[in-house]
């Protein structure tokens, strides 16, 4: 088990090094922030001063070496735009993103798992058909369009909820539903197909033959086994929410991490892009690691094989 753990951690570190290298090169290929920070009439001397101040006048390999060394010391540098520490910006935005991600994930699981389970149990019934329609709509509707429709109905026409921005609990309802609808539909479909497979297996038949109550068969033996792929999917989706909710964040003017990274790409704020991607890939890889352990917990066969 320890060997497995250490191996996975080494893989994680290596992957992050690859990620930051790629991001470092790509950001520098995409344009010079100095051109956006200075007026078009700025002199050559002003450009040189700013380039020097930002450390962009050094050769690329030197910039890269400095960057990696600083990252290893926990220093992500300062934003080229605000000149404040990048970590300050990330911490400023992370709570909003985490809040949205948690609520959206909670909604997705709350809707997707029970609906998927009952859809499998009542296969071919009215509930199954309704659930499948829900899933198809959820997966085919773009978040951008859904968000605007929800704003139009619940904010403009009915006036129940605010149209955008971050504030009280009422502000999170529409963005969380927009973000969570797609994933709840995906979780529903995944739970349904996993449950269908599990319900057809020998051990479920055996459990029923043993005369176990249907509730125990479904919840203890069925759902626990069917949850394996769902958990992997849900964890990965949650991590994606943290960085990939940019469309929802933009539509609802939600000041999250995704929007920060997108805006930083537009303004060529290299340090924020690099740190943002590093944080997200770190979360993604940590999520992967967590899934591996959860697999072990949920499936004893995997646990024993690793031992």
Partner 1 sequence: MRPRLSIAPLLVTALLWAAVAPSIVIDPREAGAQAPSGTLTVAVATFGNERWLPHLYVGAEDVVLKPMYENLLTRDPKTGDLAPMLAERWKVADSGRTWTFYLRKGVQFHDGRGELTAEDVRFTFATLAKDGSANSLAPEFRLIKSMEVENPYTLTVRFEKPFVAFGNKVNQGLFASVAFIQSKRHMESAKDDGAERHPVATGPWKFVEHVRGDRIVYEAVENHWRATPHFKRLVFLKVPEPSTRMAMLRAGSVDVIEIGGEYADELKKVGVRTLLMPNVSWVYIILGGQWPTKATYDPKVPWAQPDAERARKVRVALNLAVDKQAIMQRVLGGLGTALGSWLMYPADPWASDALKKPLPYDPAKAKALLAEAGYPGGFDVTMNLTPWPGRGFLPDVGEAVATYWEKVGIRVKRRPVDRAVFASDFRARAYSGVALAYASPLVAPEPWEVLYRAGYTKAALCLFVEHPKLDEYVDRLAVQPSYQERVRIMRDEMGPWLTEYVPGVAIGSAHAIVGLGPKVGDWPVIAGHMGFHNWEYVSRAAR
Q: Which residues bind partner 1 (CB under 8 A)?
A: 30-33, 35-43, 45-46, 49-50, 53, 81-83, 89, 92-93, 148, 151-152, 155-156, 159, 162-166, 250-253, 255, 259-260, 263, 266-268
CB of 34 to partner 1, least distance (A): 9
Q: Provide the greatest CA pair distance for the chain.
A: 85
194 vs 257, beta carbon nearer partner 1: 257
CB of 140 to partner 1, least distance (A): 20
85 vs 114, beta carbon nearer partner 1: 85
Q: Rounded to an integer, what distance in angstroms lies between the CA atom of residue 261 and that of residue 27?
A: 12
CB of 145 to partner 1, least distance (A): 10
CB of 204 to partner 1, least distance (A): 48
Phi, psi angles (nearest 5°) of residue 38: -110, 155
163 vs 283, beta carbon nearer partner 1: 163
38 vs 298, beta carbon nearer partner 1: 38
Q: Rounded to an integer, what distance in angstroms lies between the CA atom of residue 64 and that of residue 183?
A: 38
Q: Which residues of 201-215 are buried (b: 16+ CB within 10 A; e: fewer)?
A: eeebeebeeeeeeee
130 vs 153, beta carbon nearer partner 1: 153
CB of 63 to partner 1, least distance (A): 18
Looking up tokens 């892009």 gives 273
In angstroms, what is the C-alpha Rg of the chain? 24
Q: How big, in percent rounded to 5, are the helix, strand and coil portions of the chain?
A: 80, 0, 20
């Amino acid at each position: 088990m320890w060997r497995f753990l250490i191996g996975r951690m080494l893989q994680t570190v290596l992957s992050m090094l690859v990620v930051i290298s790629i991001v470092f090169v790509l950001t520098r290929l995409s344009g010079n922030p100095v051109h956006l920070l200075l007026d078009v009439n700025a002199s050559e001397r002003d450009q040189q001063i700013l380039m020097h101040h930002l450390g962009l006048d050094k050769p690329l390999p030197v910039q890269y070496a400095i960057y990696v060394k600083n990252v290893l010391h926990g220093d992500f540098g300062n934003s080229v735009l605000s000149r404040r520490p990048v970590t300050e910006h990330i911490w400023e935005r992370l709570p909003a993103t985490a809040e949205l991600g948690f609520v959206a994930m909670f909604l997705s699981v709350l809707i997707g798992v029970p609906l998927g389970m009952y859809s499998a149990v009542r296969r071919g019934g009215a509930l199954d058909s309704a659930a499948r329609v829900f899933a198809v709509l959820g997966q085919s509707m773009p978040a951008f369009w859904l968000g605007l429709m929800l704003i139009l109905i619940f904010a403009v026409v009915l006036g129940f909820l605010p149209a955008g921005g971050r504030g009280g609990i009422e502000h999170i309802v529409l963005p969380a539903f927009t973000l969570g609808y797609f994933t709840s539909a995906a979780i529903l479909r995944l739970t349904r197909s996993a449950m269908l497979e599990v319900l057809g297996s020998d051990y479920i038949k055996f459990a029923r033959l043993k005369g176990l109550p249907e509730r125990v068969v479904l919840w203890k033996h069925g759902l626990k086994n069917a949850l394996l792929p769902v958990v992997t999917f849900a964890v990965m989706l949650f991590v994606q929410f943290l960085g990939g909710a940019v469309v929802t964040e933009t539509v609802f003017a939600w000041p999250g991490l995704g929007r920060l990274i997108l805006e930083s790409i537009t303004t060529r704020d290299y340090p924020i892009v690099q740190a943002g991607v590093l944080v997200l890939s770190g979360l993604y890889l940590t999520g992967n690691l967590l899934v591996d352990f959860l697999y072990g917990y949920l499936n004893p066969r995997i646990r024993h094989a690793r031992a």
